[in-house]
Structure 1
């Protein structure tokens, strides 16, 4: 009986000791991603591009700079440049809206996709500078390929 009580006491002591060594929640920092949430074509032919900044980390991440080349159905549309200085909460998303004067080739490709009510492939390639809470800014490479579709009832808008 005495050895069983000693074993239980020793086991509890070890668990309490290990629990005291814990440093709190794990701080996981993951690479962020950027994609297009929405593209809206203005009356003047310019684009309003809503970029979706996704933070997969378990800590807040501050986006300092964005520099991305945008292509629409293989046509170079131009560069999306911004210095948003935006902090995105852990495992969350935020949106940054940028304007772009697209190339005439890309403008035609998007106009045709909207007129035909069909999806449009796009790619983003470049980098973003972001910093996790209490850390230095780091450059992350971004390479994203996806598609946008016309939004019913919203002329000139793709999501």
Structure 2
């Protein structure tokens, strides 16, 4: 067998072995608002996207976020959950929020004017690798924007 063929086989076998024995990587999870729907009563339905960047499944135990829109406090999203998210995947947690009067006003104004709504979530996610008992808190601060969805009154993404 020629030396370059043997070297190629050895390198490919090494690469395959590295994939099989892969490292466990636990990365900080994050969150963002995927969709905000304003109900007829003024309360919000918030679809919170939880993202697991780890190479292993993570068990999400709770979330707590202060929510602000256009720089004013809108309220707190809080939930004790038992959601497990696979490696490098995301899932949606649907939550209800009775926003502050100012937050409600800013969202209604943005929807009526057809303009974007700046938001911030600031708080923590409690999570752990799915095969461990001890969870820890991960701090999350996210600034982003939601835009009205054409044809869906009261919905922003």
Q: Please give the TM-score of this superposition, normalised by the length of structure 1.
A: 0.86
Structure 1 residue aligned with 2:114, among 113, 117, 122?
117
Aligned structure 1 segments of 4 or more residues deviating by more than 4 angstroms: none
Instruction: Give the match for residue 60 of structure 1.
Output: 57
Instruction: Give the match for residue 3 of structure 1.
Output: none
Rounded to whole Å, the distance in 2 between the matches of 1:133 and 1:103 is 36
Instruction: Give the match for residue 69 of structure 2.
Output: 72
The answer for unaligned runs of 5 or more in structure 1 is 1-10
Tell me how far 1:133 sits from its aligned partner. 2.5
1:66-145 equivalences in 2 (<5 Å): 66-135=63-132, 136-145=134-143
Greater C-alpha Rg: 1
Instruction: Give the match for residue 37 of structure 2.
Output: 40
Rounded to whole Å, the distance in 2 between the matches of 1:88 and 1:134 is 12
Question: For each residue in 1:28-65, what CA deviation from the matched residue of structure 2 results, as whole angstroms up to 9, or x when unmatched?
Answer: 11000000000000011100000000000000011100
Rounded to whole Å, the distance in 2 between the matches of 1:60 and 1:90 is 5
Say whether the 8 Å CA contact 2:44–2:99 is kept in structure 1: yes
Structure 1 vs Structure 2 CA RMSD: 2.5
The answer for unaligned runs of 5 or more in structure 2 is 1-6
Number of residue equivalences: 153
Rounded to whole Å, the distance in 2 between the matches of 1:133 and 1:93 is 15
